[in-house]
Amino acid sequence: MAVSEDFPVGLRVMVVDDDPVCLLILQRMLHQCRYRVTTCSCATQAYTMLRERQDTFDLVISDVYMPDMDGFRLLELIGLELDLPVIMMSANGETSLVMKGITHGACDYLLKPVRIEELRNIWQHVVRKKGTFDFNRDNCSIDWDSNKTLVEVQSEDHGSRKRKGNIELSDAMIEDANSLKKARVVWSSELHKKFVNAVNQLGIDKAVPKSIMEIMRIQGLTRENVASHLQVVDGSWKCEDKRRIRDEQMHLIISGKESTKGLVFQLLIVEFVLSKVDHCHYFKVGDAGDPFWNVLKVGVRLSSQLYYESLCN
DNA sequence: GTTATAATAT
DNA sequence: GATATTATAA
């Protein structure tokens, strides 16, 4: 099964960095990976917290250079007492530094700026270290609200504003962080599956946002969220190049219906078809120039035989 | 509840 | 900067 299907939602990550901008960025990216994030701007306090609240973190990401405590020292302490996987992070990628990280027991070394792709796989360190990770732990509630999980510990006089030239940017972004809008709902395949289940359960006629929402029972998910999703359908679908349709590599199996329910109906058919096919891409077409802008056309690439079968169903 | 459009994210 | 995804207004 593809890794993405079983993505470990809720991995509890502690990020330590004296630079608030980095913290914020990391936090956002980790949230996108659907991890639970705690940030800390001061290594000493991070250490205290980690020790006091053992078993509430799965992984630590720490900067190398910090005013109050060297990242390597923190790494050492954690390795000594806590046995948590630690990832070091720095803008400095000198071999000697990386080596130092590894020899001190870091399980990875991320170079700043960190890309989200690199973060998607960090959970594997936890699996590797612990041998397992409970994928289903707390799978139902999604980390919408960063403020809930964000533990900001600011050190008093060790500043973030060490580097000149960065000051303005930092302040602007901190400001931004304070007014951080709630995270947008990400319609992951899991969430979408629940959506589809709810729709199926209700039947197409009764599948309206409110009812769907109630059946889904996802904390924080609003009727509007569902309505929006209902309107446009699955956000996690791969959008394939339209060229491929022209090239007739794909068959359009369903052309648009007018209403929202039409869309859901199509969706259900597509899911049905997909359940019978191993390797196919699905995608949606439609652009603003199209007079049927919100008429979604769903295509599936599959053998012509299946194509015809699907039309019969 | 639905649909159109605005706002974000990629 | 275009396009895709989600939020919000109508």
pLDDT in tens, A181-210: 567 888 776 787 788 788 888 877 788 899
Phi-psi region of A38 (alpha: psi -120 to 50; beta: other; left: phi over 0): beta
Please, which pLDDT band fits residue A224 given cuts at 50, 70 and 90? very high
Find out whether A210 and A223 touch, Cβ atoms under 8 Å. yes
Task: Give yes or no for CB of A173 within 7 Å of strand B.
Answer: no
**Which nucleotides along chain C are within 7 A of a protein C-beta?**
3-9
- Poorest-confidence range of A25-29, A98-102, A129-133, A234-238? A234-238
- What is the pLDDT averaged over residues A289-309? 35
Q: How far apart are CA A299 and CA A277, in angstroms?
A: 13
**Do residues A223 and A268 touch, judged by C-beta distance below 8 A?**
no
- Nucleotides of strand B under 7 angstroms from a protein beta carbon: 1-5, 8-10
Please answer whether residues A123 and A135 qualify as being in contact, where contact means their C-beta atoms are separated by less than 8 angstroms: no
Give nearest nucleotide to A230 (CA–C1').
B2
Given pLDDT bands bounded at 50, 70 and 90, which one contains residue A225? very high
Q: What are phi and psi of A12, to 5 degrees?
A: -95, 110
A281 is near strand B: CB distance < 7 Å: no
Instruction: Judge whether residue A236 contacts strand B, using its CB and a 7 Å cut-off.
Output: no
Q: Which residues of A64-103 are buried (b: 16+ CB within 10 A; e: fewer)?
A: bebbbbebbbbbebbeeebebbbbbbbeeeeeebbebbee
Q: Which residue has the closest alpha carbon to B8 C1'?
A: A184
pLDDT digits (tens, 9 = 90+) for A123-163: 888 877 776 655 445 443 333 333 333 333 333 334 333 33
Q: Which residue has the higher pLDDT, A208 or A165?
A: A208
Is residue A181's beta carbon less than 7 angstroms from any atom in nucleic acid strand B? yes
